[in-house]
Amino acid sequence: MIVVLLNVYLALLFILVKLRVIPFNLFWKVSPVLVLLLLLIGLFIPMNWGAPQGSALVVRNSVAIVPDVAGEVIEVTAQANQPLKAGDVLFRIDPVPFQSQVDALAAQLKFQETRLAEMTQLQSRGTGRTFDVEQREAEVEQLKAQLVGAKWNLEKTIVRAPADGYVTNLALRKGARVTNLPLAPVMAFIDTSATIIGVEINQIDARYLAAGQPVELTFKMTPGTVQTGKVESVLQAIATGQVQTSGLAVAPKAVQAAPFAVRVRLDDQDFASRLPAGAAGDAAIFTDRVQVAHVIRKVLLRQIAITNYVNPF
């Protein structure tokens, strides 16, 4: 853009000199350099913090699916990269051993409840001990608790989708044995219920960023188009500034001014829901400073949107 403005000035200067409107003296000869400095110092440098621009990336939460019970998989109903609703069945584990445990506990509970009724009747007649009744009551309550746990295990043989989304890189097949170990997930579930769009802004340009500011974005996968949105939040921490509990002394390392992350929400949520995880682009955030430069930033962003037709990087 600065080249375009400078070329416009040079063309105008050439026309005015040819028409003898202005003399071609030393001042007008060096005026392009003065105009260039004026544009840089008075417009383009302040534009970087009045309307900062940065790379945008679409991120989605990934849930590692780990079953709550171990067993043999008897059916895999989910298909890779097919939309699923929260609660849809992903796969089923053989319920036979869990059903048998429920049946066994239910039979024991029925027997103990019968014994409790008999003990209570004997106590009411004065021929039984209170201790025996209390013991039977405790056994009944214990069996009820165990039965609840057994029914929960039986229910968890059906593994369901935790949210709206899809399963990717699906390798699970019928006959495989799965465990309930947290470090042994059986599939990756991509949550599409919320679209997270992050924008990287250099630290020197982030001073005036705030929630609610308007944003314009263009994505590589939709060249020639510009989307609008608003800043949801400016993240107050990045990994380079994080301190973790450790038994070691401070380990100095080179300090780098890593960019800050800004979370953005698109106005068109239907378009946002169709964006795949990893979709990249560029975004411009418009603050309440240097508003005269906002138009230039809009033009620059639209130039990027057009060049996305041919620029894959």
- pLDDT per position as a tens digit, 16-53: 767 777 777 776 666 666 656 665 566 677 788 899 99
Q: Residues 39, 103: one domain?
A: no
Residues 123 and 84 in one domain: yes
pLDDT higher than threshold 90 for residue 202: yes
Nearest Cα to Cα of residue 215 among 269, 288, 265: 265
The answer to whether residues 55 and 35 belong to one domain is no
Our count of domains for the chain comes to: 3
Tokens linked to 265 = 């929400």
In a domain, 29, yes or no: yes
- 77 and 22 fall within a common domain: no
User: Domain range holding 29?
Assistant: 1-49
As to burial, measured by CB atoms within 10 angstroms (0-12 exposed, 13-18 middle, 19+ buried), residue 174 is exposed
pLDDT in tens, 102-121: 999 999 999 988 888 888 88
Residue 206 within any structural domain of the chain: yes
Average pLDDT over residues 11-19: 70
User: Do residue 103 and residue 157 come from a single domain?
Assistant: yes
Residues 56 and 149 in one domain: no
What CATH number does the domain containing 212 carry? 2.40.30.170
Half-sphere exposure of 121 (CA within 13 A, CB side): 6
User: How far apart, in whole angstroms, are the C-alpha atoms of residue 285 and residue 188?
Assistant: 33
Residue 247 domain flag: no
If asked whether residues 202 and 302 sit together in one domain, one would say yes
User: For the chain, what is the mean pLDDT?
Assistant: 87
User: Could you give the CA distance from residue 232 to residue 261 in angstroms, rounded to a whole number?
Assistant: 11
Residues 183 and 85 in one domain: yes
In this prediction the pTM is 0.74
Q: Which uninterrupted H or E stretch holds 107?
A: helix 96-124
Whether the pLDDT of residue 9 is over 60: the answer is: no
> Are residue 308 and residue 215 in the same domain, yes or no?
yes
Q: Is residue 276 part of a domain?
A: yes
The CATH number covering residue 165 comes to 2.40.50.100
Residues 230 and 186 in one domain: no
Q: Which residues contact 18 (CB under 8 A, 6 or more apart)?
A: none
Domain identity same for 56 and 31: no
pLDDT band at 203 (very low <50, low <70, confident <90, very high): very high
pLDDT digits (tens, 9 = 90+) for 186-200: 999 999 888 899 999
Q: Are residues 214 and 312 in the same domain?
A: yes
pLDDT at 34: 63
pLDDT at site 245: 78
